[in-house]
Amino acid sequence: MTARIIDGKALSAAIKADVAQRVVQLKKQGITPGLAVVLVGEDPASHVYVRNKAAACEKAGLYSRVVRLAADVPEEQLLNTVRELNADSTIHGILVQLPLPSHMNAARVIETIAAEKDVDGFHISNAGLLMTGQPLFRPCTPYGIMKMLESENAVLRGAEAVVVGASNIVGKPMAMLLLAAGATVTLCNSKTRDLGAQTRRADVLVVATGKPEMITGEMIKPGAIVIDVGINRKADGKLTGDVQFESASQVAGAITPVPGGVGPMTIAMLLVNTLEAAERCAE
């Protein structure tokens, strides 16, 4: 069997085009959705991500502002920057790019973002709303994955969903969204015994571990939908996911590629969350 490729680039382009249309409507009411991205330090990957986020905003007609702070900035100065953005009515979404330098308390920084501007969905109040089935913002990567599953017409009610990786950013909110959609969810972590026994039960398998190619074809149920969140650089410079694409695509029914799978969806959903934050201001 050769798996269908789930084209995240095409799906994200369609979502961004829809956002652009809704932005036009909102502008007629005098509101331009605005996203502020705060970037602390010099992490090269973070710089690329932030540049891509700002470019995607501008392309869809949103206003974007990038606030760059030095790696050694005192935490209090970062908190004050966030407080100013909370009070700024031209800004509807605030995102502090992670990881932060080690002298900072990321949880405290995230909790300082106004929950109604927390377009990442990382604030504890947004995590709690998601967990209790009344989400305000869904974290962008899991939200994008739900859109991919929707585009595949995946039946989630009663399905076995296995999520590998239990981070606050991807694994845990992913589990909550799949659960809300009626799946039976198993959330695996680095201590899980016999990971293959878990993953082989999955009708829907989501992998977000940051470990290159750790999931191989023999760990996948024939016909499963496989979503690979990983993006890792190999010794030869090429990008690869957390799933070994060659072997997995022989067994899976559908699979996301790396690059061109989940990555583009994350940015598209950030635009959706920012737009919806601005739309709520118009209500």
Residues interacting with ligand GUN, by CB under 6 A? 95-98, 120, 140-141, 169, 266
- Which of 16, 97, 147, 221 is catalytic? The answer is 97
**Least Cβ distance, residue 95 to ligand GUN (angstroms):** 5
* Residue 120 appears among annotated catalytic residues: yes
**Least Cβ distance, residue 250 to ligand GUN (angstroms):** 30
Phi and psi of 40, rounded to 5°?
A: -110, 125
**Residue with Cβ nearer ligand GUN (26 or 38):** 38
**Least Cβ distance, residue 127 to ligand GUN (angstroms):** 14
The separation between the first and the last C-alpha atoms of the chain, rounded to the nearest angstrom, is 50
**Least Cβ distance, residue 96 to ligand GUN (angstroms):** 6
d(CA 62, CA 180): 30
**Residue with Cβ nearer ligand GUN (10 or 48):** 48
- Which of 16, 117, 120, 228 is catalytic? The answer is 120
Which residues line the annotated binding site for NADP(+)?
165-167, 231
- Which of 53, 117, 147, 221 is catalytic? The answer is 53
d(CA 132, CA 29): 33
**Least Cβ distance, residue 190 to ligand GUN (angstroms):** 19
**Residue with Cβ nearer ligand GUN (33 or 121):** 121
Q: In Å, what is the CA distance from 176 to each residue of 151, 166, 188, 268?
A: 19, 11, 14, 20
Residues 6+ apart with CB under 8 A from 170: 139, 141, 142, 208, 229
* Residue 59 appears among annotated catalytic residues: no
Residue type, 258: V
**Residue with Cβ nearer ligand GUN (119 or 248):** 119
Q: In Å, what is the CA distance from 179 to each residue of 2, 65, 133, 145, 155?
A: 28, 35, 10, 14, 13
**Residue with Cβ nearer ligand GUN (169 or 174):** 169
* Residue 97 appears among annotated catalytic residues: yes
Number of H helices, E strands in the chain: 10, 11
Residues 6+ apart with CB under 8 A from 102: none
Residue position matching structure tokens 């996301």: 256
Q: In Å, what is the CA distance from 160 to each residue of 178, 221, 225?
A: 10, 11, 11
Which residues line the annotated binding site?
165-167, 231
Return the residue nearest ligand GUN (CB atom): 98
Q: Which tokens belong to 121?
A: 């969905």
Known catalytic residues are 53, 97, 120
